[in-house]
Amino acid sequence: MLKNQTAIVTGGTRGIGAGIVKLLLTEGVRTIVLAKNEESITNLKETMDGLGELEAYQCDITSSEQVAAVVEKVDEKYGRIDTLVNNAGVGVWKPFEEMTEEDWDSQLDTILKGAFLCSQAVYKKMMKGEGGQIVNIASDLAYNTTEKASAYCASKWGLLGLSHTMNKEGKKHGIRVTTVSPGLVQTDFGGVPAAKKTSGLTVETVAEQVVSVIKTGKDAGQVEVIIRP
């Protein structure tokens, strides 16, 4: 069903992102990963070697110039972008009164601004073609807040609002914008190693849900998935 399609995944070198990339490759999807760290890209290519057609670009998704350049390159090479998965994220857990401006900016810029810039660049390409879909990896914290995560919660709530609005505007262009919002996932994130998470969702479970969303028929105008352990 997805064979020979083209997908872009941000933050696809580790954790949930790497799980999504692995599953897309096994489905025969031409998968392009955007990541900031060159070493993580090298490691990903070694890990995914032989699974399918994988490309990776070093790209700061908070830079409109870098995002536009990569999206243009992918569109020119393949003539289409079927799916974008906005997965890149940063988590800083601190009491509200200790949250610094740098902490705030790093999370809002990566999660919300990054999703906006990547979505807008891809959205414009999809408008000129047969449409497509954008899947935003939100969080259970986009619905239920928790202590020491003020900036993270704000960014994910914002991502949810952005997704809903984009989906309403995108329908007339054949573009569906959906969200997948997992609860605790067994990954190294927010300064907490996976080994200390005795419960939680596996990366594979979340990745399966994302690919399931991508496979959902176009008659579904909106898809919103919340996964809790």
In a domain, 89, yes or no: yes
CA distances from 1 to 4, 119, 125, 169 (A): 9, 23, 22, 26
Reported as a single tens digit per residue, the pLDDT across 31-44 is 999 999 999 999 99
Residues classed as catalytic: 152
In a domain, 122, yes or no: yes
In a domain, 10, yes or no: yes
CA distance 178 to 203: 19
Portion of the chain with pLDDT greater than 70, in percent? 96
Domain span at residue 79 reads 6-227
What is the average per-residue pLDDT within 51-74? 98
Reported as a single tens digit per residue, the pLDDT across 92-137 is 999 999 999 999 999 999 999 999 999 999 999 999 999 999 999 9
What length is written for the chain?
229
In a domain, 1, yes or no: no
In a domain, 103, yes or no: yes
224: which residues sit within 8 A by CB, 6+ positions away? Answer: 178, 179, 181
pLDDT value for 120: 98
In a domain, 40, yes or no: yes
Q: Looking at residue 169, which CATH number applies to its domain?
A: 3.40.50.720
pTM of the shown model:
0.96
In a domain, 158, yes or no: yes
123: which residues sit within 8 A by CB, 6+ positions away? Answer: 134, 166, 170, 173, 175
Tally of domains within the chain = 1
Helix runs in 38-108, H state only: 38-47, 64-78, 101-107
In a domain, 190, yes or no: yes
CA distance 27 to 16: 17
Q: Which two tokens stand for residue 229?
A: 């352990």
Q: How many CB atoms are closer than 10 A to CB 95?
A: 9
Q: Which two tokens stand for residue 25?
A: 């490759």
Q: Which two tokens stand for residue 125?
A: 């390409």
CA-CA-CA-CA torsion sign (131, 58, 49, 207): negative
Q: Which two tokens stand for residue 71?
A: 């999206």
* Closest of 127, 181, 183 to residue 159, by C-alpha: 181
- Give the model's confidence band at 1: pLDDT under 50 very low, under 70 low, under 90 confident, else very high: confident
28: which residues sit within 8 A by CB, 6+ positions away? Answer: 2, 3, 4, 5, 52
